[in-house]
Amino acid sequence: EVQLVESGGGLVQPGGSLRLSCTASGFTFNNYEFNWVRQAPGKGLEWVAHISTDYSTRYYIDSVKGRFTISRSNSKNSLYLQMNSLSAEDTAVYYCVRALSCCYAGFDFWGLGTLVTVSS
């Protein structure tokens, strides 16, 4: 059974940092590209970042460029999101999502999400 389990969310002050992790199981992790997608409270979905299977390609939404870094460890079956210089606008549930090989925006499995709250 495919499982994606996020962790690392919590309450952080503006300007602070947080590192999200996503542990995968039930499939061959290094065969898939991954993304982080977030959802602010009561709002829609927003794609955050993408990473290729071999770490060589990474894309980010403009609002997080220079502040967030997506990474992965194929040996640990894990995906990460290092978030720095956090602001209230980053408050959201962050989902780890697996991408279909056919389509950059085709996300076939989602984790349950981890809540990040940026507040003083």
Among 111, 114, 116, 118, binds other proteins (CB under 8 A): 111
> Which residues make beta-bridge pairs with 92?
116
Report 13-72 residues binding other proteins (CB under 8 A). 35, 37, 44-47, 50, 59-62
Segment near other proteins (CB under 8 A), from 21-29, 69-77, 84-92, 110-118? Answer: 110-118
Q: Which is nearer to other proteins, 55 or 104 (CB)?
A: 104
The whole-angstrom separation of Cα 55 and Cα 93 is 24
Q: Which stretch binds other proteins (CB under 8 A): 15-23, 73-81, 82-90, 97-105?
A: 97-105
Contacts with 115 (C-beta within 8 Å, 6 or more apart), sequence order: 9, 10, 92, 93, 94
CB of 2 to other proteins, least distance (A): 12
When asked if residue 2 is in the footprint of other proteins (CB under 8 A), the reply is no
The 10 Å CB-count burial string (b at 16+, else e) for 99-114 is beeeeeeebebebebb
Give the sign of the dihedral formed by CA 63, CA 69, CA 73, CA 74: positive
Task: Return the residue of 2, 11, 88, 100 that touches other proteins, per CB under 8 A.
Answer: 100
Provide the token pair at 12: 């952080």
Residues lying near other proteins in the complex (CB under 8 A) are found at 35, 37, 44-47, 50, 59-62, 95, 100, 102-108, 110-113
